[in-house]
Structure formats: structure tokens, C-alpha cells
Amino acid sequence: MNKVLKNSWALFLGIGFLMMAYGFQGSLLGVRAVQEQFSLTATGFMMSGYFVGYFIGAMTISNLISKVGHIRVFAAFASLASLVILVHSIFINPYVWFILRVLTGISMVCIYTVAESWLNDRSSNKNRGSILSIYMVILYGSMGIGMFLLNFSRPENYQPFILVSIITSLALIPILLTKKKPPTFKKIQGMPLKELYETSPFGMVSALFYGTIQSALFTLLAVYAASMNFTIFQISLVTFLLAISGAISQYPIGKLSDKYDRRKVIIISTFGASLFALLAILSSGQMYLPGELATSKVWFFIFLILFSICSLPMFSLICAHTNDYIPKEKFVAAGAGIQFTFGLGAMSGPFLCSIFMNIVGSNGFFVFLLFFHALIGVFGIYRMRVRETVENPDSQFVAMPSTITPAGIELNPTTEHIDEPYSDKVKEILDRKGVEYKKN
């Protein structure tokens, strides 16, 4: 573990700053949109721009890295992300913000790809599980801390936007000053969607639906809380609890899925999320009753935590379930296909959720989450009736963030063998001789 941190501390520190800025930015834009009285549909449309950009970036980043290299790509897109957030504070318009969110999405997926391919290059069979675990903790922990920065200054001021830009720029320093050589980029192809569906219909369909859920959850929770008249501190607390409780629940629920039928764990988790979404609706309705009839917001926080515990491990569960039906050598390709399908759903999530909120009111947010979680559960029950459970000794649950790229999926310790990484000294000698970094 100490060796992992020693070799990758600069990258972990840079990613930590970026995720802190990302968590802060998402909450800030949501609350500011409510204060500027953007319509719910316009807000959902604007927030969906991030996932449109993420999808575009995922399709193009591999060619760009191959041409100009990891460090230049990281520096360029971290700088772009830092610039874009400042432009938000100048042009207060949902359609301009949509374009800016697209640019942010492109920047972030490029940064993730660089970081994860770099980590993958520093990994071996002995430590890649540890590296992925540390990476997960940094992603969710830094995002949670960033959400509390919403209390730094009022969202209608320009100072919060400047702070996001500063934190994003800080991420460049440890990366650009590191002596570690950047990795040789390896392009990873995803599995064709037809083959992915034939391999695991439940895996592909649930990834599509879950993409709509999680994109709406992380982009519109702050909008929901602001529209329910939560204080700035309460909004930051709600978003923090969402990220942290979901991260903590990954491993216990994952271990249950290794011990019992994975589809049953997915179905129970998704119906549990639907139940707690319903209870969140009921508790939120009680918060503003007159006098002593009103209930404490604590119940809402409890139901949100329980919802997050059931919902956030779903992406990792879906990846593990898909792997149950394929050979080990296709784990990374299938994971890339699942991520692609998740992205297709994510692009529509915030916009669709905003339509629910327009029709039902603020609690349309939880109605949307309840509906799509229930759809996953119903389809899972159907698939269990038409296909028997398969025991695949190579497949096991590995906690992964939903933002993970194909390069990061290779950190999964159950995937194919990775050669021990060369030391920097050996790489330098080979580089001088023009020898490719491969072991026979």
C-alpha cells in the first residue's frame, strides 16, 4: 500500500482536487439555477450537457492521447475545465450553460482517462485492487468535501465560481511536476452493443436505466433541495450524505452479491431504492405541515442515506453480473460496453427527471428515481424466469465508480494478467534505445 501511494501520490492528489471542484461545481450550478429562476426543464436540459460532453469525449479521447500524450491532454483539459466554470459566472443563461456543461463533460472524461490509464500503467497483479480501492475513496471523499464548499459564499456571488477554478487549477501542479514518466497509451475497444445484449440482456438494459437514474441523482439533488427551501448548509449536507453513504455501502452489498445470486441482490437493492424514494417523498411532505404536525428533516436525511446505500452500488453490481456470463478475457471489453450504455442513459437522465418535476412538482425528482429503479427490478424478475443463474468462478464483485473509463476497468483484479511495471530507470534506458516497453 505504501509503495502504491509513493508511486502515485501526485496523480491521487491531482484527482482529489479535481473531484473536490467537480462536487462543488455540481451543487453550485444547481442552487444558482433555482435562484435565477430557470425553469425545471431548462435546468434539466442544462445539467444534461455534462453527460453529452462526457459521451463525446469518451469517443474521441483515445486518438487525442495517442497524438499528443497524457501530460499535454491532462494539462489542456484541466485548464479548460478551470476556464469554463468562470464563464458560468459571466453568462447567466441555461442554454449558454448547456454548452459550458458539454465542455466540462469532455474535459472530465479526458482527465479520467489519463488518470486511470496512468494508474493502470503503475499497477501489477499484486496491487491493482489496492489502487482501485484508493482511487474510489479519493473520488467519493473529495467529491463529498467539495459539496460542503457550497457554504463558502452565497451562490449568487462570483467568489464560489472563482474558488472552483482555483481548485481545478491546483490539480495541475502535482501532475505536471511529477518525475514519473507517462504511460504508453493502449486503446481499448468496447463490446458491440448487439453482442453485449445477447450476452447479458439484463446487464445492458439495467445499465441504460441506471444511467438515467444516477445522472439525475447527482445533478438535480441540489436543485430539488433548493426548491424545497433547504438552507445552503442543508443542501451541502444532503449532497455529501449521498456521496459518502453510497461509497461506504459498495463493499458490503458487493460481498452479498458474491455469496448469493447476484440478480437477486440487484433486484432487492433496486426495489429497496424505490421504497426509500417513496418514503423520502412522504417524509418531505410532512416537513412543512403547520405547527407540531411538521416532522423533522432528520427522517428525510435517513431515507436519503438508505436510498443511496441501495442505489449507488448498482453500477458495480451490473458490471459484475455481466461478467458472470462472459469469459475472463472479455471482462474489460464488456465493462467498456456497459459504460457506453450507461452513458447513453445518462445523457437523458437530468432532462427526463426535470419533466417529472415539472408535472408532479419538486417530488417528481423522487418519483422519477422510484419509477426507473422499479423498471430495473421488474425486468430483472422477468430475466430470472427465462434464464438460469450461471456460476462463473472468474467473476466477482469489484467496487467501481460509475465514471470509470475502460482504462480504469483494467484495474479490476479479476481481469487478465498485467505485467509487473518497469521501474523508471529501466524505462529511461529502454526509451534511449528506442525499445518498446514490453516484457516477453
pLDDT at 127: 67
421: Cβ contacts below 8 Å, ≥ 6 apart: 121, 122, 123, 124
Query: Closest Cα partner for 164 from 139, 146, 183, 184?
Result: 146
Judge contact between 307 and 280, C-beta under 8 A. yes
More confident residue, 408 or 51: 51
Q: What is the DSSP string of 128-179?
A: HHHHHHHHHHHHHHHHHHHHHGGGSS-TTSSHHHHHHHHHHHHTHHHHHH--
Cα separation, 148 vs 141, whole angstroms: 11
pLDDT value at 410 more than 80: no
Judge contact between 246 and 317, C-beta under 8 A. no
Cα separation, 165 vs 149, whole angstroms: 13
Cα separation, 252 vs 317, whole angstroms: 12
Q: Which residue do the cell numbers 459504460 mark?
A: 339
Confidence of residue 356 (pLDDT cuts 50, 70, 90): very high
Query: Closest Cα partner for 69 from 189, 182, 186, 188?
Result: 182
Find the largest Cα–Cα distance for the chain: 79
Tens of pLDDT, residue by residue over 2-40, are 666 666 777 788 888 888 998 899 889 999 998 898 998
Tens of pLDDT, residue by residue over 181-229, are 666 656 666 678 888 888 888 989 999 999 999 999 989 999 999 988 8
Cell readout for 29 is 450550478
CA triplet 75, 26, 146: central angle to 5 degrees? 75
Confidence of residue 431 (pLDDT cuts 50, 70, 90): low
Tens of pLDDT, residue by residue over 222-244, are 999 998 888 889 999 999 998 88
Judge contact between 317 and 266, C-beta under 8 A. yes
Give the H or E element holding residue 418. Answer: none
Give exposure, 330-369, as e/b (b: 16+ Cβ within 10 Å): bbbbbbbbbbbbbbebbbbbbbbbbebbeeeebbbbbbbb
Q: Which domains does the chain have, with CATH numbers?
A: 2-418 (1.20.1250.20)
Tens of pLDDT, residue by residue over 134-161, are 788 888 888 888 888 888 888 888 899 9
Judge contact between 390 and 305, C-beta under 8 A. no
Q: How many other β-carbons are positioned within 10 Å of the β-carbon of residue 317?
A: 25
Packing angle of the helix pair 364-386, 201-227 (nearest 10 deg): 170
- CA separation (Å) from 287 to 147, 264, 317? 23, 34, 34
pLDDT at 438: 46
Across 327-425, where does the E strand assignment appear? none
Confidence of residue 439 (pLDDT cuts 50, 70, 90): very low
pLDDT at 178: 67
435: Cβ contacts below 8 Å, ≥ 6 apart: none
Cell readout for 49 is 450537457
Q: What is the pTM of this model?
A: 0.84
